[in-house]
Chains A and B, each alone.
Chain A
Amino acid sequence: MKYLDTSAYIKYYSDEESEAGAKQVQEVIDNADRESGVISSAMLIGESVSVLDKWRRMGILTEEEFKSVLSDLVLDFKDFVEEEKLHIEDVNIVRIKAAVDQIVEHGLPINDALHLHAALLNKDKMEEFYCSDKNLKEAAKEEGFNVIDPEKQSKKS
């Protein structure tokens, strides 16, 4: 199984020219299945939409473009979960309580702490942790994950 935080997952919707590491993320998600799937926190959903909404508010995306991209995003979430290629770890008060340990230990903001906690819940089956966020990458390494930054992989190739 592979953990993808939002900084990695969101690359699925771009291309290599505009978003370093997009190609690798597309391969990971397109090749995911029940046995070798992708895990993420429910934060993925809100964070992904927040990025698109920010672009809409900045005038980078038109209203029509925003709706079109959002449509693809939410339909993919539904289908990927139904196809069992994406497993979403829920966020609730118990998870937030546990994520406080990650905030205190690693100095992470709550979004990153919830991602790290979701990965730790599945640590025994986690082969790789995909992330392009500096703070979260460092914390995940400290927790013993095999961290892959698709942006770094892209620069190597």
Chain B
Amino acid sequence: MTSTSEMEKQVRKIALDFLSTHISQEDITAEALRELATKYGDSRNLEETREIISKASKKSDMSLSETLKTIREEA
């Protein structure tokens, strides 16, 4: 009779073998980005986005790259 701990080890091995054989890092990345897009993605309008960013940059006198620099410095 197989003990519970041995069964757990076997199940774990089967699960890890399955994951490493059938799911690549690319699959995990793509799935995570699909979930992100489902949660925060609605419609897209690149032209409008660029207009929003351009207007906001002028308003704040700060570019996206400059803002990133401040975030990295604060980290």
Chain A residues proximal to chain B, CB less than 8 Å:
6-8, 10-11, 13-15, 17-21, 42, 45, 47, 50-51, 54-55, 58, 60-61, 65, 67-72, 74-78, 81-82, 88, 90, 109-112, 132-133, 151
Contacts and interface: CB of A to CB of B under 8 A. Distances in A.
B16 interface: no
Q: Chain A interface secondary structure, helix, strand, loop or mixed?
A: helix
B69 to A, nearest CB: 6
18 contacts: A11-B65, A14-B50, A15-B54, A19-B64, A45-B33, A47-B72, A50-B71, A54-B71, A58-B60, A65-B56, A69-B53, A71-B43, A74-B33, A74-B41, A88-B29, A88-B33, A90-B28, A133-B69
A78 B44 contact: no
B52 A17 contact: no
Contact of A7 (B25, B58, B68): B68
A109 B68 CA distance: 13
Contact of B45 (A58, A60, A68): A68
A99 to B, nearest CB: 13
B48 A42 contact: no
A89 to B, nearest CB: 9
A88 B25 CA distance: 10
B74 to A, nearest CB: 10
A61 B43 CA distance: 18
B56 A60 contact: yes
Contact of A82 (B28, B30, B40, B44): B30
Given A18-B53, A60-B59, A47 B71 contact: yes
B52 A65 contact: yes
B75 A110 contact: yes
Given A58-B60, A67-B42, A71-B40, A78 B34 contact: yes
